[in-house]
Amino acid sequence: MKITVIGTGYVGLVSGTCFAEMGNKVTCIDVDSNKIEKLENGIIPIYEPGLEVMVKRNYDRKTLIFSTKLSDHLDACDIAFIAVGTPMGDDGSADLKYVLQVAKEIGQNMTTPLIIVDKSTVPVGTADKVRAAINEELEKRKVNIDFDVVSNPEFLKEGDAINDFMKPDRVVIGADKDETAEKMRALYSPFFRSGSARLIIMDVKSAEMTKYVANAMLATKISFMNEVANICELVGADVNDVRIGIGSDSRIGYSFIYPGSGYGGSCFPKDVKALHRTAAENGYEALLIGAVEAVNDTQKLVMAKKVVKRFGEDLTGKTFAIWGLSFKPDTDDMREAPAIYIIKELVSRGAKIKAYDPKAMHEAQEFYLKGINEVSYCNSKYEAIVDADAMILLTDWKEFRIPDFEELKTQLKQPIVFDGRNQYNDKMMMKNGFEYFQIGKQPLK
């Protein structure tokens, strides 16, 4: 099929590349000419394992091309995916300005029948708005071209996006017409080796809702466990044991019940807020969803509070090594990362920071911690700990899992570790002479 993907970010670039890998002819469009120029020169603007080699392979065999001009790439196109950002608006709802701008451009430029797919995460009712925006432009042009709007929310996880897309747990298609659903089924069938049982077809509104509910459910598990961790700590229980104890119940399961420094990233924070807002707009106060967000806001600063409790309110003259900046491992994405909040809190109390992250330091320097002179960036995790008063682990990158504890002890001014992801065994840490603080368990004495 001939496919155009509009918006070449995490979702657009991964989706477009994977569709090309399956033999479709794909054009990825973006308004960011810098990004498109980089891609045409083989430079991948994001870090995502396995993506670079796949982009290059498809670019070389011309199944994947890049452009800034949507108007040149809608002729004889079968399916156009909208994969632009849907950031949080001032009132917490999803801001649809980029989606509707693209819809308008499609209406202005389409020449042949087309399926338009909302792949961006968009609230219930957006497909109707996209349809209306396209119709308005077609009417202005006084042309009548057949089109349909489909919802196909994306469930890929940054850091494992290629795998998620190539071997999906499920693909959700919201289509109100059977023939459109069949075309979408044909597009996705190569991704399901054992038939298309996991291709779930439903009406458009239910598909739009499914994405928000999935993210809100996962965020709920995280906030629930973080709240449990805070209670465990107060009553003298060990959340790590509690986690294993409850996870063994197959109705609960082990995934997404790790306590930590709160969720971040480009999706959970904004999608939880947007669902809360959708409920409010429809006259319903979503108490649980509101609480998920409130717990997370508090949790992001739990590690900073532990540092203050140990070192005092005024952190002037103190230096902290930060291991991990991205909101989760295997990505350079720092959107809403707990590290941003913790670092700002420590700096506001006079501390200096020596930060190290395997992939996200550029993002931190250029955007999220830009202009904060108290933060310096190190070439390795061991460089970051030299003469620091303590090490604070914030992202569970694999390279932090079994560090050289002797080196850690030697280089730190004092052997103190704050672990925002519960990576180490506290008995082992105590035996090795560390003062060790984790989430959901009082430090051993």
Q: Does 83 bind ligand NAD (CB under 6 A)?
A: yes
Among 80, 84, 110, 393, binds ligand NAD (CB under 6 A): 84
Q: Does 168 bind ligand NAD (CB under 6 A)?
A: no
Strand locations in 141-271 (E): 147-151, 171-174, 199-202
Task: Assess whether 267 carries a catalytic annotation.
Answer: yes
Among 31, 286, 291, 301, binds ligand NAD (CB under 6 A): 31
Which residues are 149's β-sheet partners? Answer: 116
**Cβ–Cβ under 8 Å, residues 117 and 174:** no
C-beta of 268 vs 418, nearer to ligand NAD: 268
Q: Which residues within the stretch 109-138 sit at the binding site for ligand NAD (CB under 6 A)?
A: 120-121
C-beta of 19 vs 98, nearer to ligand NAD: 98
CA distance linking residue 276 with residue 285, whole number of Å? 8
Segment interacting with ligand NAD (CB under 6 A) among 153-161, 313-321, 322-330, 432-440: 153-161
Which residues are 199's β-sheet partners? Answer: 171
Q: Does 72 bind ligand NAD (CB under 6 A)?
A: no
Residue 2 among known ligand-binding residues: no
Q: Where are the alpha helices (DSSP H) in 256-372?
A: 268-281, 287-299, 302-311, 338-348, 361-363
Q: Where are the alpha helices (DSSP H) in 110-203?
A: 126-141, 161-166, 178-188
Which DSSP string corresponds to 389-439? SEEEE-S--GGGTS--HHHHHHHSSS-EEEETT--S-HHHHHHTT-EEE-S
Name the closest residue to ligand NAD (Cβ): 9
Residue 345 among known ligand-binding residues: no
C-beta of 38 vs 221, nearer to ligand NAD: 38
Nearest partner of 191 among 221, 170, 167, judged by Cα: 167
Q: Which residue among the candidates 28, 77, 232, 267 is catalytic per the annotation?
A: 267
CA distance linking residue 190 with residue 155, whole number of Å? 18
Residue 270 among known ligand-binding residues: yes
Q: Which residues within the stretch 264-323 sit at the binding site for ligand NAD (CB under 6 A)?
A: 266-267
Which residues are 204's β-sheet partners? Answer: none
Segment interacting with ligand NAD (CB under 6 A) among 3-11, 49-57, 165-173, 241-249: 3-11
**Cβ–Cβ under 8 Å, residues 103 and 134:** yes
C-beta of 101 vs 189, nearer to ligand NAD: 101
Rg of the chain's alpha carbons, rounded to an integer? 24
Task: Say how many residues make up the chain.
Answer: 445
Among 26, 102, 114, 408, binds ligand NAD (CB under 6 A): 102
Classify 219 in phi/psi space as left (phi over 0), alpha (psi -120 to 50) or beta. alpha
Q: Does 8 bind ligand NAD (CB under 6 A)?
A: yes
# residues near ligand NAD by CB under 6 A: 26
Among 3, 5, 6, 51, binds ligand NAD (CB under 6 A): 6
Binding site for substrate, by residue number, is 155-158, 211, 256-260, 264, 328
Which residues lie near ligand NAD (CB under 6 A)? Answer: 6-12, 29-32, 35, 83-86, 98, 101-102, 120-121, 154, 156, 158, 266-267
Instruction: Give the catalytic positions in this structure.
Output: 267
